Amino acid sequence: MKTAIMGFGNPVRSDDAIGIYVIEELKKIIGDNDIISILDMGTAAFEVLFGLKGHQKIILVDAVINSNEPVGTLFKVPAEEVMRAPQDDPLVFLHGMKWDQALSYAKKILQDGYPDDIQVYLIAVENTRLEVELSKEVQEAGDKVVQHILEDLQISVN
């Protein structure tokens, strides 16, 4: 089964970069692999449509703000719970589409080729100031996500 792991975030917006941090850590452990695609998505969303193709399993990692939970709280949710309904506005492709909207479009476009297994890890954050450092709580949550993903993919680290 081919798996894509996609990390999202802005690397100069402090804790918003947690998805990128997780991707970097996984690349160190897993490296280049024909079965697992590890993708730094940055703040892109439209590219999600293309990243899904040819994969049976997708794992997304991103920050979530205003969750009303303590910073560093980890959420694992099925993609269906966070997908936004597609909008029939053609301008949505030109302006600020998020990955949850991209998933909805991908489902509509790929139809039978849409992966059945999509998991989403969200980490509660507050600090999205113009900084490059992650807070301790968010980095620790990111390390937990790395471990969860490795366990899910049955990859052991010695």
DSSP class per residue in 3-23: EEEEEE--TTBGGGGHHHHHH
Q: Which residues, given as ranges, of the chain have pLDDT below 50?
A: 85-96
Residue 84 placed within a domain: yes
Q: Say what the pLDDT of residue 32 is.
A: 78
Burial level of 41, CB count in 10 A (0-12/13-18/19+)? buried
Q: Report helix, strand or coil for 50.
A: helix
Residue 61 placed within a domain: yes
Residue 124 placed within a domain: yes
Q: Say what the pLDDT of residue 19 is.
A: 94
* Tally of domains within the chain: 1
Residue 158 placed within a domain: no
Give the CB-side neighbour count of residue 141, counting CA atoms within 13 A: 26
- The Cα–Cα gap between 116 and 56 comes to 7
Q: Say what the pLDDT of residue 72 is.
A: 95
- The Cα–Cα gap between 19 and 32 comes to 18
Q: Say what the pLDDT of residue 16 is.
A: 92
Q: Say what the pLDDT of residue 94 is.
A: 38
Domain ranges, residue 110: 3-153
57-83 residue pLDDT tens: 989 898 988 888 999 999 998 777 776
Q: Say what the pLDDT of residue 90 is.
A: 44
**104: its two tokens:** 């909805």
This prediction has a pTM of 0.84
Q: Say what the pLDDT of residue 67 is.
A: 82
Residue 131 forms beta bridges with which residues? 13
86 CB-near residues (< 8 Å, 6+ apart): 101, 104, 105, 108
Residue 133 placed within a domain: yes
Residue 115 placed within a domain: yes
CATH code of the domain covering residue 80 = 3.40.50.1450
